[in-house]
Amino acid sequence: MTLASLAALGMPASAPLQAGGGGLLYYGIVFFVLAIVAGLAGFRGVAGLSMKVARILVVVFLVLAIVTFLL
């Protein structure tokens, strides 16, 4: 799609860049921040689980990014 056709649909010009993903990294950072806040608050179980989820999401993001760059 061209920028003109996106503007006609009412979509911002940056939509094609965001449409490809980035959700994994975003949620990885969200879970990392949640782990830090939970750790500071003393909720060690929530902090540990959040850190594990964050680590998994970031690793999946990195693997998919490397595969995408190689293809």
Instruction: Examine residue 4 and state whether it is found in any structural domain, yes or no.
Output: no
Domain assignment present for residue 9? The answer is no
Q: Which positions ≥6 away from 38 have C-beta within 8 Å? A: 44, 46, 47, 50
Q: For 11-44, what is each residue's pLDDT tens digit?
A: 555 544 444 456 888 988 999 999 999 999 999 9
Query: For 53-62, what is each residue's pLDDT tens digit?
Result: 999 999 998 9
Q: Collapse the DSSP code of 21 into the 3-class scheme (helix H, G, I; strand E, B; otherwise coil) and give the result.
A: coil
Residue 8 lies in a domain: no
Tell me if 10 is assigned to some domain: no
Whether residue 33 lies inside any domain: the answer is yes
Quote the number of domains for the chain. 1
Cα(53)–Cα(5) distance, integer angstroms: 38
> DSSP H helical segments within the chain, as ranges?
3-8, 15-19, 23-41, 44-70
14 within domain boundaries:
no
DSSP state of 1: -
**What residue numbers bound the domain in which 58 lies?**
21-70
Q: Is residue 6 part of a domain?
A: no
Q: Is residue 3 part of a domain?
A: no
